[in-house]
Amino acid sequence: MNQKIFDNNWLVESGDEKDVVLISRIRLARNLKNHHFPNKASIVEKEEIIEQLQNNLSFLESENFHFFKMEEFSALERDVLQEKNLISKCHSENIEGKALILNNKLHLSTMINEEDHLRIQVFGSGLDFSTIWQVADQFDDQIESEVEYAFSNKWGYLTSCPTNVGTALRASVMCHLPALVLSERINEVLGAVGKFGLTVRGVSGEGSGSAGELFQISNQITLGYTEKEIIDNLKSIILQIIREERRSRLYLVNKNYDKLKDNVLRSLGILKYAHRLKENEALNFLSKVKFGLDSGLIEEDINKNIFSELIFKIRTAHLQLNNYNSQEELDIKRAELIRNSL
Amino acid sequence: MLCDNCQENDAIVHLTRIINGKKEEIHLCEDCAKKSNKFKLDSFNNISFQSMLSAILNENDSSDSSFMNNNLNNNNCNSCGLNYSEFTKSGEFGCADCYLEFEDELETLFKRIHGNKRHTGKKPANIEAEKEFQAEIDHLKAEMESAVEDERFEDAAEIRDEIHEIKKSMEEDIDESKNI
Ligand SMILES: [Zn+2]
Ligand SMILES: [Zn+2]
């Protein structure tokens, strides 16, 4: 495929509350009437579903959209798509009978025959649910006007997993919460969100554990509330978390000014001069530098968007696109890429 | 085996966690295990309904087992062949018709997962909502009458409330179409 499309990075666009919220995301699950869900569909039926969508969705002919069978991608390209969150891990494995719709800007993707027939995802920079809901809603309308969905008056959109039934909407944000982690208030603040029907998980880089003090918060309940109610509820809790994070930043900077300034500047120093950097290491130092920039601890004239610009590029598959292969070579190229961006 | 997190030290802690229904094994060294404990990420993950789903489904199976199992739906879905006990193991429906086949069991299940049992959000424009609503109301009315006949007045009151809810969402639909 044309690898130029991978260069697009909507995340560098400015967005609301971006000192804390990096990414907003909306996902809608949809299934076609009169077909088995993917877990019960044969490869032949899955191919029929792909063909039916390809033939019926007239908007796919517009040059804004691209339709791919997953087999068209190399393993490396699938890893890149996964690092960009455009496909899930599951969608990049056992690729027979699976397909993908992408828009030009790469902020809309639709996985075909993942857990459901259609998984529509729209991303936005910063806290931005009004725009991305509109995009997802309209895209859904476009599909709905050409195919018949599995829908019940009583239970809404029918999904393969009962946790998605109803609106089949999952709204989520990726938050950067370094001050809540540093002040060890993270459990207290995030622990409370479960009471509001939301879940939290640490965002991990390679391997496991949370990297870069990034957390993903999303709604769990999909049945019995309207899309607007679900999004408004999530948004109101996120705004509380943003307030707590900012409050902790102020408090920490006032209380431990010299210690923190030393810490973020050392991180900056490492990024500026390191010869080799592992993925998680790079993410953690970049997180510190972002914190330093957002809280005014780093006064040097550095691109404030550095974190958003590099968060995809420094990942392993993205680097491999340029033919760097051994672990050692990758770590060296990663360090070089970061050095040159500072 | 090396630690998944730092890739430097030997892994001594081996964890299995379930995220979004998928099993994931994690191997950590002592340092990284301590750090991940500090953030107690696993306690957040536990909140996830998705990971609790199989627990809910299987609890449904084992608690009051004599009572539940006798009443458990033994039918297979006409379209995909799935039966309810397979569903409780996989946590996945095989097709839209499974929802009809397991209807009686699902009310309780959805109530447990979502705290609700009725959709109030977006509807496809081409759905013939009114007809379906009316059919549902007719069905419930008949059920209510037979409940009254059997002097199951609590059941009858519950069904009456449900009919009321359906009528309400019918009116909301009409309001919405006026707006457009
Ligand atoms: Zn380790
Ligand atoms: Zn079925």
pLDDT of residue A191: 79
Contact yes or no for A220 and B49 at CB 8 A: yes
**Nearest ligand to the C-alpha of residue A37?**
2
Task: Decide: helix, strand or coil at residue B93.
Answer: coil
pLDDT of residue B46: 37
Instruction: Report the topology of domain B1-47.
Output: Wheat Germ Agglutinin (Isolectin 2); domain 1 (3.30.60)
**Nearest ligand to the C-alpha of residue B10?**
1
User: ipTM of the assembly?
Assistant: 0.86
Which chain A residues touch B120 with a CB distance below 8 Å?
Answer: 224-226
Burial state string for A291-314 with b = 16 or more CB within 10 A and e = fewer than 16: bbbbbebbeeebeebbbbebbbbb
pLDDT of residue B38: 39
pLDDT of residue B35: 65
- Mean pLDDT over residues A156-176, rounded? 95
pLDDT of residue B148: 87
pLDDT of residue B73: 65
Beta bridge partner(s), residue A21: A175
Contact map slice: B 70-99 vs A, CB within 8 A: 79-82, 90-96, 99
Is A172 annotated to bind a ligand? Reply is: yes
Taking CA–CA distances from B36, the nearest residue in chain A reads A209
Contact yes or no for B126 and A148 at CB 8 A: yes
Query: Which among B49, B80, B96 is the nearest to A31, CB-wise?
Result: B96
Is the pLDDT reported for residue A95 higher than 90? yes
User: Residue B162 class from Cβ within 10 Å (0-12 exposed, 13-18 middle, 19+ buried)?
Assistant: middle
Taking CA–CA distances from B79, the nearest residue in chain A reads A36
Is the pLDDT reported for residue B74 higher than 80? no
Is the pLDDT reported for residue B22 higher than 60? no
Say yes or no: B180 contacts chain A, CB-CB below 8 A. Answer: no
Domain boundaries, chain B: 1-47, 48-120, 127-179
Say yes or no: A280 contacts chain B, CB-CB below 8 A. Answer: yes
Confidence category of residue B44, pLDDT binned at 50, 70, 90: very low
Say yes or no: A35 contacts chain B, CB-CB below 8 A. Answer: yes
For residue A152, report the distance from its CA to the centre of ligand 2, in Å.
14
End-to-end CA distance of chain A: 31
Contact, A219 vs A234, CB < 8 A?
yes
Contact map slice: B 122-141 vs A, CB within 8 A: 122-127, 129, 132-133, 136
Q: What tens digit of pLDDT does each residue of A246-261 get?
A: 999 999 999 999 999 9
Is the pLDDT reported for residue A57 higher than 70? yes
Which chain B residues touch A155 with a CB distance below 8 Å?
Answer: 99, 106, 110, 118-119
What rounded mean pLDDT belongs to chain A? Answer: 90
Tokens representing A206? 């390679």
Confidence category of residue B102, pLDDT binned at 50, 70, 90: very high
Beta strand A118-125 with A99-103 is: unpaired
**CA distance readout (Å), A311 to A169, A266, A294, A299, B168:** 26, 20, 16, 22, 48
Contact, B158 vs A203, CB < 8 A?
no
Is the pLDDT reported for residue A326 higher than 70? yes
Is the pLDDT reported for residue B93 higher than 50? yes
- Backbone phi and psi for residue A198, each to the nearest 5 degrees, phi listed first: -115, 160
pLDDT of residue B55: 62
Longest distance between any two alpha carbons in chain B, whole Å: 73
- Identity (one letter) of the amino acid at B27? H
Is the pLDDT reported for residue B40 higher than 50? no
Say yes or no: A191 contacts chain B, CB-CB below 8 A. Answer: yes
Is the pLDDT reported for residue B50 higher than 80? no
pLDDT of residue B166: 79
pLDDT higher for B5 or A309? A309
Q: What tens digit of pLDDT does each residue of A30-55 get?
A: 999 999 999 999 999 999 999 999 99
Contact, A315 vs A279, CB < 8 A?
yes
Is the pLDDT reported for residue B48 higher than 50? no
pLDDT of residue B43: 40
Task: Decide: helix, strand or coil at residue A278.
Answer: coil
- Backbone phi and psi for residue A210, each to the nearest 5 degrees, phi listed first: -90, 140
pLDDT of residue B71: 55
pLDDT of residue A139: 96
Q: What's the gap between Cα B6 and its chain centre? A: 38
Which chain B residues touch A37 with a CB distance below 8 Å?
Answer: 80, 92-96
Q: Rounded CA gap, A20 and A245, in Å?
A: 8
pLDDT of residue B173: 67
Q: What's the gap between Cα B8 and its chain centre? A: 42
Beta strand B13-19 with A21-30 is: unpaired
Is the pLDDT reported for residue A87 higher than 70? yes
Q: Rounded CA gap, A21 and A44, in Å?
A: 42
pLDDT of residue B47: 39
Share of chain A above pLDDT 70, in %: 96
Q: Rounded CA gap, A177 and A121, in Å?
A: 24
Tokens representing A63? 């040059």
Task: Decide: helix, strand or coil at residue A127.
Answer: coil
> Helices A279-294 and A327-341 meet at what angle, rounded to 10?
20
pLDDT of residue A208: 43
Query: Which among A115, A154, A162 is the nearest to B119, CB-wise?
Result: A154
